[in-house]
Amino acid sequence: MTTGTPGSAARQNNTQQVHYLRFAVNYNDPNIANGVGKQWLPRGAIITSTSVYVATPFNAATTNVLTVGTTAGGSNLVAAADVDETTQAITNGVKPTGTALGPLAADTQVFVTFAQTGAAATAGAAVVIIHYIPNNDL
């Protein structure tokens, strides 16, 4: 198991099982418009899907866009059209695209971005869950 400061190291159990990262996102997280670094995926991991639970709907006046990716502002784990941010619901099984298709070449940080237009949001909270399988053959 990788150790270090919580949230700063890739997580990997030593048994064969599906792993996951879970983190909260709020409309007013510092620097959310530019992409906030969250947790880390281990080198060699294959991402199988991402789920997003919108606990409190995001309420910017015109658009509410939550994306998740392996770069700041990226959307290769959750793209703009994958989730309805304005409705309390869970979206399961969002498939990775592009550079998020594993196996990952290095430990990789996950970033989340919330973009909005119109009057600024005054509410919005979600939980992102990334399902992955580490490379136990390393």
The model carries a pTM of: 0.88
Residue 99: strand, helix, or coil: helix
Instruction: Give the model's pLDDT for residue 1.
Output: 41
Q: Which domain holds residue 48?
A: 20-133
Asked, for residue 8, whether it belongs to a domain, the answer is: no
Asked, for residue 51, whether it belongs to a domain, the answer is: yes
Asked, for residue 10, whether it belongs to a domain, the answer is: no
Asked, for residue 15, whether it belongs to a domain, the answer is: no
- Taking residues 80-98, report their average pLDDT: 96
Please give the Cα distance from 71 to 100 (Å, whole number). 10
Asked, for residue 93, whether it belongs to a domain, the answer is: yes
Asked, for residue 87, whether it belongs to a domain, the answer is: yes
Number of structural domains, the chain?
A: 1
Asked, for residue 37, whether it belongs to a domain, the answer is: yes
- Taking residues 107-128, report their average pLDDT: 97
Backbone angles phi, psi at 64, to 5 degrees: -135, 115
Asked, for residue 32, whether it belongs to a domain, the answer is: yes
What is the average pLDDT value for the chain, to the nearest integer?
91
Torsion of CA 44, 47, 48, 54, to 10 degrees: 160
Query: Do you find a cis peptide bond into 134, omega within 30 degrees of 0?
Result: no
- Taking residues 79-107, report their average pLDDT: 95
Instruction: Give the model's pLDDT for residue 7.
Output: 58
